[in-house]
């Protein structure tokens, strides 16, 4: 049995965005625009933080799933591919987190 990955989720979002239709929550989000998608992502981020602070494992897992979904929808709304985010992360793996963070402050 194969594992479900974030790439599978991105492909599902792409397919639902292309198919459209009244029955697609993804399509409804995208039709409301990137700003709406950003707001939904923010709401899910807050809910994820609350679940983490409350130390509710099941709730954190559920909210984490919602957060990832809404992040990918937001990327789709802005025309950013998951691979572009992965490339940015890949560049960062060649230095420590502290070095990477310092390089962003200096504008590099």
pTM comes to: 0.85
Residue 63 lies in a domain: yes
Residue 99 lies in a domain: no
- Counting the structural domains of the chain, the total is 1
Least confident range of 21-35, 45-59, 76-90: 21-35
Each residue of 18-31: b (16+ CB within 10 Å) or e? Answer: eeeeeebebbebbe
Q: What is the pLDDT, as a whole number, of residue 96?
A: 72
Least confident range of 23-27, 52-56, 92-96: 92-96
Residue 104 lies in a domain: no
Residue 108 lies in a domain: no
Residue 89 lies in a domain: no
What would the pLDDT profile of 22-47 be if each residue is shown by its tens digit? 789 999 999 999 999 999 999 999 99
DSSP secondary structure letters along 30-82: HHT-HHHHHHHHHHHHHHHHHHHHTT-HHHHHHHHHHHHHHHHHHHHHTT--H
Domain with residue 69: its CATH number is 1.10.287.1080
Please check the confidence at residue 107 and state whether its pLDDT lies above 60.
no
Residue 23 lies in a domain: yes
Structural domain of 59? 6-80
Residue 40 lies in a domain: yes
């Amino acid at each position: 049995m194969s594992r479900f990955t974030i790439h599978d989720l991105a492909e599902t979002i792409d397919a639902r965005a292309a198919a459209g239709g009244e029955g697609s929550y993804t399509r409804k989000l995208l039709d409301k625009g990137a700003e709406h998608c950003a707001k939904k992502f923010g709401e899910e981020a807050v809910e994820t933080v609350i679940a983490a602070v409350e130390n509710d494992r099941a709730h954190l897992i559920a909210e984490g799933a919602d957060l990832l979904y809404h992040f990918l929808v937001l990327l789709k709304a802005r025309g950013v591919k998951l691979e572009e985010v992965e490339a940015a992360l890949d560049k960062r793996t060649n230095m420590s987190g502290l070095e990477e963070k310092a390089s962003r402050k200096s504008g590099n």
